[in-house]
Amino acid sequence: MKQFTIPFTYRSPLISRIKEKRKESDKMKKDFTPTRLDFGPLEIYLARHFGFCYGVENAIEIAFRTIDENEGKRIFLLSEMIHNPTVNQDLQKRGVRFLQDTLGNTLIPLDELTKDDIVIIPAFGTTLHMEKVLLEKGISVEKYNTTCPFVEKVWNRSEQIASKGYSLVIHGKPKHEETRATFSHAAYHAPAIVINDMSEAIQLGDFIAGKMGLSDFIRIFEGRCSEGFDPTKDLKKIGVVNQTTMLASDTQAIADYLKIIMIEVFGSAHESVSDFFADTRDTLCYATNDNQSAVYGLLEQEADLAIVVGGYNSSNTSHLVELCEEKLSTYYIDHPDRLIDSKMISHFDFHHGIKKETSDYLPKTEKVKILMTSGASCPDAMVEEIIMKLTRFYGITDWQNSVKISPALD
């Protein structure tokens, strides 16, 4: 896989060595057991896969190269580059300005842009409408486009199945930048609808099966359908694609459920399931799958608590938190400073969208065991800083020389 040039401050020499060693010994990615860092009174178990993915490193490389190569020019980002506050703040310190917030609200009017300005498209991609606006202003949308290749893969797959007459059901968070972009591209080629979760898939299935009336459908899915969407006609032949950072198991469960409904309703009139339901398993992102599978492997280890690191508006990180919460106390933090001291931690409750402080989060036991992972937009250096801070709470100052790592690095 391509090696990207990103700021060295985002790298961790130790974590890079760990990842490289695990990669060498497990080229087929079949081993999801964590890496154990034994500091004596403290043990930290690092997930087999975590941190920057291909799409994020690609976006960061393009963004910082764009800054270096265009001194004196005004440089804008459509919205946050990725969902990590440290990376976005670093870009702003270099003079990059955001045109929109993550919900698409205007921060800088597009009327202020000129053809001499540079606009970077973030890793989530953007809508066809926004591309058209930029092109009409004479601004390139290709040269500074950091859209993740795996997001584009979903768009391409959507176009392929749309060409065969399927309508598109998009599993994603309706307000997320990536979902808005995917919906725009999908709706250009076929009727499209966005559903958020399994409960909405069941409601969609109820309409397909004739258990829900049109007025209820319109009320539930208002603003989620492409222009001219007619559910009485457009839900007779469908395919399910996804926002790439959703739980892979959730997307598959939704697709499996809707497939069953479609077979029950339309199966007797067709020779093959493919006549009315498209196979779209190939739209799931490899990094999302790897990180989530690694958490399942991580959770097989007995521990006292879990720490998940990532931006608080990061979809993929929130799903890692969700998985960990099913087994043990889990703290979602976006910076080492959230570890206030050994007795207090500031963390995020993404279910209610609030920040909380919890005391006595570290148990008073002879040996404390912590599970740790991070989202796809979190720098490894931040994970290292958190490890360093935790070790200091236990009186360990020279942590790199005192740690015992398993599997060993030599």
d(CA 96, CA 236): 46
For 97, 100, 113, 141, the CA distances from 109, given in Å and listed in that order, are 12, 9, 8, 18
The amino acid at residue 48 is: R
d(CA 318, CA 119): 28
* DSSP label at residue 370: E
- Residue of 57, 80, 177, 178 marked catalytic: 178
The amino acid at residue 308 is: V
d(CA 124, CA 59): 10
For residues 241 and 194, the answer to whether their CB atoms sit within 8 Å is no
For residues 331 and 361, the answer to whether their CB atoms sit within 8 Å is yes
- 384 annotated active-site: no
Q: If you count DSSP H runs as helices and E runs as strands, how many of each does the chain have, helices first?
A: 14, 14
The amino acid at residue 334 is: D
d(CA 334, CA 187): 35
Buried b (16+ CB within 10 A) or exposed e, 142-156: eebbbbbebbbbbbe
Closest CA to 385 of 4, 2, 5, 13: 13
d(CA 368, CA 370): 7
For residues 300 and 327, the answer to whether their CB atoms sit within 8 Å is no
Catalytic machinery residues: 178
